[in-house]
Structure 1
Amino acid sequence: MTPESRRIARVLLDSPLPQLDRLFDYALPAEFGEVPLGVRVRVPLRTAGRVIDGYIVDIDTEDDADRPLSEVDSVVSTVPVLPERLHRHARRVADRAAGSASDVLRLVIPKRQVRVEKAWTGESPAPVVEEAAAERSQEILDVYEGLVAVLDDGGRAAVEAVPQLRDGGEAWAQLLAASATRMLAAGRSSILIVPDHRDLDRLLTALESLVPGESVVRYDSRQTNPDRYRGFLRTLEESPCIVVGNRSAVYAPVEAGLVAVWDDGDPLLGEQLAPYVNARDAALLRQELEQSALLFAGHTRTTDVERLVAHGWLQDVRAARRVLPKVVLSTPQEMEQPAAQRMPSSAFLAARTAAAEGPVLVQVSRPGFSPSLVCAECRAPARCPHCGGPLGARHRGAVPVCGWCGRSARAWACPACSSTKLRLASSGSERTADELGRAFPGIRVIVADSAHPVERVDAKPALVVATRGAEPLAAGGYRAVVLLDGPRMLQAPDLRIGEACLRWWSNAAALAAPGAPIHLVGVSGAVGMALATWNQAGYARSELESRAPLHMPPTARVALVEGSAAAVSRALVALGELALPADAVLGPVPVDSEDVPPRVRALVRFDYGAGSRVATVLRAAVVAEAVAGRRGRARNAKNTLSVRLDILDPEL
């Protein structure tokens, strides 16, 4: 470096403002010495007149020492919390979703914990996989035809998990644990992503018998801040590890040899914060950048994954010898029975016979006693007089309570017929347990839902009434499974409700003991046949074929553009220069809100090939509106324009 030159640091600011989503040049004072890339710094923001956080992405020298540059205020820490691979991944994800890289990094980089950082050595010993664990992992992987080659060659696969219990745990958890163990034995890290804490606990249990505990790094919101930061620092080390966590774990800065996602259709894998990227999409982008092995495992197949299988981008991997659950559909005579008879005779007899031997699972759609009430005279839905929410009953004879605001409706009167009498319109988990307790005298009844979490039940006779997703594990598996409320579940106004129901039912069926009957009550048609034949991939293919002519996701990508009428109009005009199809834009239509000025919403449908151009134009529109707002054109408007890509269930 010549006397006339100086060091400059290119800094990514930690700011939610879209106009600041770029690298800024700052002079790096000589007194800071050698500064590693990726460290936290504090830098002045001239337009705001304050100092904010940021990360050094690059350091360079320049000869133009006369160019006016602000100096880096301070180096917060010498720990490189933003390695180049993490920045590259965050930038790629943000660009695809028309978002900010800092929003992505905020999901993965925890707040600094000084004591934890000072105690961190940065050199964990290389984990050792015992020979017995390696052999056990090989046995599990050999069940799936071609899976070992996918892992060793850095391939991509959609894996149909074996729907059964094995050695006291679920086969899917052992599949992911065995895959990560093989990678660890080869000296490579793995990232295992699951939807919720129940899946996380089951996966950690499966890993306990295969790998040393210090090689497993948890990555979930239940951790304390020090534990979360301690785990993050471990992922910065060169020593391989296995990262196990929820959706944000997909960004863990390890040099991953494997990224595996379990049950990618679960909505919990969709990020609820901007830029709203699903863990599945983030995993696809990571594999594209790093060429690691990629697995999407599940008992069912989402249309998103099936589209990639159909294009040959994912390999279809299944068990070499499939042993399928025994699913029984309702007969035509049972389908004609009154709706009041929730459990037909065949399912009732199967449950009674199985309950004498062990636990029986009864899946219902909703928790509580009676989640919804109707007028006893005209059958109109009972609504809260304060907020319009649905009224429900917590137990028989209880005062109706609103499901939205929680207020009691003691003096309720039907606005349609003025009747003051209410009728129970649905049965939740508690009411179902109450009814089955009377129908099965002498058999204990266990309720498992959000208010009564149950992780495991023993092998003694019992009726386990559980809501979807809250089913506990049973020792030896359930002796019978009864899936109730299927028609009610399928009536939800959701484009993907068929996929969702098939996923709920398949996951429950996988908890059954070998040969145990699984009764799907009141459901026929394509969804029922897909479960009965265990052909979830075929159902996903048929869904893709039906959505293609309508350009509905995932056959096309969909962007939601919302804001003031003028802002949305300007964004749509900018999109018009991309020569999208004439029917690409739906709307805009007014949004039911009290915002001033009124907000409108539009949907934009486009092919995957146009994705980068659409995202670039929409991101530029967001930045332009944000800058204009600061200059006064829309000073009174709040969030004048927002953009969200890859809407799963588009609805104007």
Structure 2
Amino acid sequence: MSRRVARVLIDSPLPQLDRLFDYAIPDELSPAVVPGVRIKAPLRTAGRVVDGFVVEVSEESDGDRPLSELDAVVSSAEVLPERLYGLARRVADRAAGSAIDILRLAIPKRQVRVEKQWLAAERRDAPEVGAEAVDAARAVLAGFPGLAEKLTEGARVAVDAPPRLEGGRPAWTALLAAAAAVVLSAGRSVVLAMPDHRDLDLLHGALTDAVPSDAIVRHDAAQTGPERYRGFLRTLDDAPCVVIGNRSAVYAPVSRLGLIGIWDDGDPLLDEPLAPYVHARDAALVRQEVAEPASGERPALLLAGHTRTTDVERLVAVGWVEEVPAARRYTPRVVLSALSDSERPGARIPSAAFRAARDALAHGPVLVQVARPGYAPTLVCADCRAPARCRHCGGPLHAPGRGAVPVCGWCGRAAHAWTCAACSSPKVRLASSGSERTADELGRAFPGVRVVVADGAHPVREVDDAPALVVATRGAEPLAEGGYRAVLLLDGERMLQAPELRIGEACLRWWSNAAALAAPDAQVHLVGVEGAVARALATWTHGAYARAELGERAPLRMPPTARVARLEGDVAAVDRALATLREDIPDLPPDAVLGPVPVDRQGWPGARALVRFEYGRGAAVAGSLRASVVAEAVGARSSRRGPAKSRAPRNILQARLDIVEPEL
């Protein structure tokens, strides 16, 4: 006799459970078991009932096959549509991860009251974008010839946003809002991912002027649980909408998706810190490749920013993404300021930049960007210049204020009666200036001028157009009414000294985003920086800089010219995984594997290795590494015995793909 069988995805972090399990459907649950609903099912290997989602329901003719029965249907809400599961599966396979890890990011925790209201409510009608709003949106997109047509055709495009203010907001907000209005007017949904809440607020304000407010769905980590779940359920409706949110917004299961937009893809906040560690840009690329089931059309992909990352430039170079230049190029007035021969060596602000700030203060606010927050983030011994360290934990000492007792940055203890471990000197020296110390110094240099500090401890969203010195850390610059009359970019050389592969890209992005806040014709002074990064900022040729970076990394096969995977775990497990990889891909180059090298894993000896491979081998490498992870997890579960079980690391083998900083 035939019977109905549900194929279920179990909600479990164990890699060996990342597959669909067959369960028999009891007669009393049969009407409620449909694809997409939450269920509870017994897991015999664990001896308990676990949560899961129904992915498929089918008829089985072999009724004698022994199957466990579903325990319960949690809700009738179909929260896992086929399009969302398919996306999660593809993204997880590309990253050698689990689909359930992706779904945890995409589906918020259930809120019973909100869900009942959604089930009882009538379905919404498609929002209507007025003709005047569409005309205004097309006028904005006309600044990029052909962009409107490419968005409606489902193309992949890269756009360098104009670095200026329009109507009191950054110009990029009007660009994205216009793109959303044009696509929504065609009856298709839009998903826009932003790095942080400040970008979300700015874009939200621009969208309210371009599309109906009830069509905007916000997906924000700062929202309450009910708010997030209400917004998620709205995306399940057939009515198109515009979803704006953080990195996980790219998984919003909207119907008839017409556009996926990513703003400032170089921001590290778009890189997911949870397994399987997929960048929002990579998830968007995977999603754009899949055609909509109803229409057969693919959504467009818009990658916008003030700068061009090497990842996007590589896609442009291979023809996967098309660059759409602006009809009229706009560049800020960037001045490369350096100390003259007559100035004191070591001065932070050259005389030319100092004069520019003084003159600009007569007309409005001046922005001063610094590298770090606090008063003095770094202290050294005044005699031997050795770093000042805490005697308790070895952490770095910093000065919370002028004349204050040094404090440890790790344990927070005050370093009373500190002495240098190298020379026993009791004296310390300020080795760097944070935002608060810079504000203190500028306040003495410009008496009577208002000084505003904007950093993580002192968040400031906006400042008025009155004269003021705004000292801000990178990324925390407030928006000034009418724009800043001058911008001073300090500590550039110190920023470039960070031991990171992409530090040049990061600095160029920080400086460009700050320069975009300047008023028209305002000077932007980059202090004490020379070389390719400074020239790229001064000439506003970010694409050329990204191409040069790709040319330097290609011979070394450093990302993004090649993909890099990292294997870490038990020494024997890493060796077995590398051997399996060689067997699965016999023509893998001999120098593709770097390592393994020994590492400490919670007091246990371990190993780490890097694997460099071409993009065309991505599926094969990811499949091989994932199979090794699953095999080691199964073997570890069956072999754990005795008291060592509580002391051994939980994961015998871990694999992470698309490493940005390939360090052993």
TM range (shorter): over 0.9
**Which amino acid is 1:507 matched to?**
N
Alpha-carbon distance, 1:388 to partner: 2.1
Please point out which of 34, 37, 42 is paired with 1:39: 37
Equivalences for 1:290-309 in 2 at 5 Å?
290=291, 291-309=298-316
**Which amino acid is 2:37 matched to?**
V
Alpha-carbon distance, 1:595 to partner: 2.4
Residues 339, 350 of structure 2: 8 Å contact kept: no
Residues 306, 513 of structure 2: 8 Å contact kept: yes
Task: Report what 1:494 is aligned to.
Answer: 500
Aligned partners of 2:608, 2:412: CA distance in 1, in Å? Answer: 30
Aligned partners of 2:322, 2:163: CA distance in 1, in Å? Answer: 20
Task: Report what 2:325 is aligned to.
Answer: 318
**Which amino acid is 1:619 matched to?**
R
Does 1:6 find its partner at 2:3? Answer: yes
Task: Report what 1:267 is aligned to.
Answer: 268
Distance 1:477 1:280, change over 3 A: same
Q: CA offsets per residue over residues 316-352 of structure 1, 9 Å max, x none?
A: 1121001210000024737x95553100000000000
**Which amino acid is 1:7 matched to?**
R
Unaligned runs of 5+ in 2: 292-297
Specify the SS of the correspondent of 2:520.
Answer: coil
**Which amino acid is 2:282 matched to?**
D
Aligned partners of 2:395, 2:94: CA distance in 1, in Å? Answer: 37
Alpha-carbon distance, 1:500 to partner: 0.1
Please point out which of 626, 637, 641 is paired with 2:653: 641
Alpha-carbon distance, 1:145 to partner: 2.1
Q: CA offsets per residue over residues 35-67 of structure 1, 9 Å max, x none?
A: 321111111001011111111111111111111
Specify the SS of the correspondent of 1:591.
Answer: strand
Aligned partners of 1:421, 1:520: CA distance in 2, in Å? Answer: 33
Task: Report what 2:519 is aligned to.
Answer: 513
Specify the SS of the correspondent of 1:282.
Answer: helix
Task: Report what 2:354 is aligned to.
Answer: 348
Specify the SS of the correspondent of 1:54.
Answer: strand
**Which amino acid is 1:101 matched to?**
A
Task: Report what 1:244 is aligned to.
Answer: 244
Please point out which of 60, 84, 108 is paired with 2:58: 60
Please point out which of 572, 576, 580 is paired with 2:578: 572
Specify the SS of the correspondent of 1:195.
Answer: coil
Unaligned runs of 5+ in 1: none
Task: Report what 1:589 is aligned to.
Answer: 597
Distance 1:354 1:594, change over 3 A: same
Distance 1:413 1:332, change over 3 A: closer
Does 1:284 find its partner at 2:285? Answer: yes
Task: Report what 2:455 is aligned to.
Answer: 449
Aligned partners of 1:181, 1:421: CA distance in 2, in Å? Answer: 62
Residues 433, 447 of structure 1: 8 Å contact kept: yes
Aligned partners of 2:477, 2:7: CA distance in 1, in Å? Answer: 50
Residues 495, 649 of structure 1: 8 Å contact kept: yes
Does 1:431 find its partner at 2:437? Answer: yes
Specify the SS of the correspondent of 2:441.
Answer: helix
Task: Report what 1:15 is aligned to.
Answer: 12
Residues 122, 237 of structure 1: 8 Å contact kept: no
Alpha-carbon distance, 1:385 to partner: 2.0
**Which amino acid is 1:55 matched to?**
F
**Which amino acid is 2:614 matched to?**
D
Specify the SS of the correspondent of 2:57.
Answer: strand
Please point out which of 531, 536, 545 is paired with 1:530: 536
Alpha-carbon distance, 1:78 to partner: 1.1
Specify the SS of the correspondent of 1:70.
Answer: coil
Q: CA offsets per residue over residues 384-422 of structure 1, 9 Å max, x none?
A: 222222110110111111112222211321111111100
Does 1:387 find its partner at 2:355? Answer: no
TM-score (norm: length of structure 1) = 0.98
Q: CA offsets per residue over residues 110-161 of structure 1, 9 Å max, x none?
A: 1111110111126123212122221221111111122112111110011100
Aligned partners of 1:224, 1:148: CA distance in 2, in Å? Answer: 36
Please point out which of 98, 109, 112 is paired with 1:111: 109
**Which amino acid is 1:202 matched to?**
L
Aligned partners of 1:411, 1:594: CA distance in 2, in Å? Answer: 34
Distance 1:404 1:339, change over 3 A: farther
Distance 1:426 1:108, change over 3 A: same
Specify the SS of the correspondent of 2:631.
Answer: helix
Task: Report what 2:73 is aligned to.
Answer: 75
Q: CA offsets per residue over residues 198-251 of structure 1, 9 Å max, x none?
A: 111111011111112111001011111011100000000000000000000000
Does 1:29 find its partner at 2:26? Answer: yes
Aligned partners of 1:33, 1:587: CA distance in 2, in Å? Answer: 54
Identify the range of structure 1 (339-348 vs 490-499) with the bigger mean alpha-carbon deviation. Answer: 339-348
Q: CA offsets per residue over residues 71-125 of structure 1, 9 Å max, x none?
A: 0111111111110110010000000000000000001101111110111126123
Residues 164, 171 of structure 1: 8 Å contact kept: yes
Residues 43, 51 of structure 1: 8 Å contact kept: yes
Specify the SS of the correspondent of 2:591.
Answer: coil
**Which amino acid is 1:171 matched to?**
A
Q: CA offsets per residue over residues 507-551 of structure 1, 9 Å max, x none?
A: 000000111000000001000000000001100000000000001
Residues 339, 528 of structure 2: 8 Å contact kept: no
Task: Report what 2:295 is aligned to.
Answer: none
Task: Report what 2:613 is aligned to.
Answer: 606
Aligned partners of 1:504, 1:643: CA distance in 2, in Å? Answer: 31
Residues 23, 69 of structure 2: 8 Å contact kept: yes
Please point out which of 367, 372, 382 is paired with 1:376: 382
**Which amino acid is 2:159 matched to?**
V
Residues 161, 318 of structure 1: 8 Å contact kept: no
Aligned partners of 1:339, 1:263: CA distance in 2, in Å? Answer: 36
Specify the SS of the correspondent of 2:290.
Answer: helix
Task: Report what 2:95 is aligned to.
Answer: 97
Specify the SS of the correspondent of 2:289.
Answer: helix
**Which amino acid is 1:222 matched to?**
A
**Which amino acid is 1:25 matched to?**
D
RMSD: 1.2
Aligned partners of 2:602, 2:427: CA distance in 1, in Å? Answer: 34
Aligned partners of 2:152, 2:176: CA distance in 1, in Å? Answer: 15
Task: Report what 1:199 is aligned to.
Answer: 199
Distance 1:315 1:339, change over 3 A: farther
Please point out which of 530, 549, 554 is paired with 1:548: 554
Residues 420, 426 of structure 2: 8 Å contact kept: yes
Aligned partners of 1:338, 1:83: CA distance in 2, in Å? Answer: 66
Alpha-carbon distance, 1:592 to partner: 4.2
Aligned partners of 2:395, 2:543: CA distance in 1, in Å? Answer: 38
Residues 122, 234 of structure 1: 8 Å contact kept: no
Q: CA offsets per residue over residues 354-395 of structure 1, 9 Å max, x none?
A: 011000000000000000000000111111222222110110
Aligned partners of 2:338, 2:223: CA distance in 1, in Å? Answer: 49
Alpha-carbon distance, 1:575 to partner: 1.1
Does 1:50 find its partner at 2:48? Answer: yes
Task: Report what 2:128 is aligned to.
Answer: 128
Task: Report what 2:146 is aligned to.
Answer: 146
Aligned partners of 1:582, 1:394: CA distance in 2, in Å? Answer: 52
Aligned partners of 1:498, 1:570: CA distance in 2, in Å? Answer: 37
Please point out which of 630, 633, 641 is paired with 1:626: 633
Aligned partners of 1:156, 1:607: CA distance in 2, in Å? Answer: 22
Count of residues in Structure 1 that have an aligned counterpart in Structure 2:
647
Residues 126, 239 of structure 2: 8 Å contact kept: yes
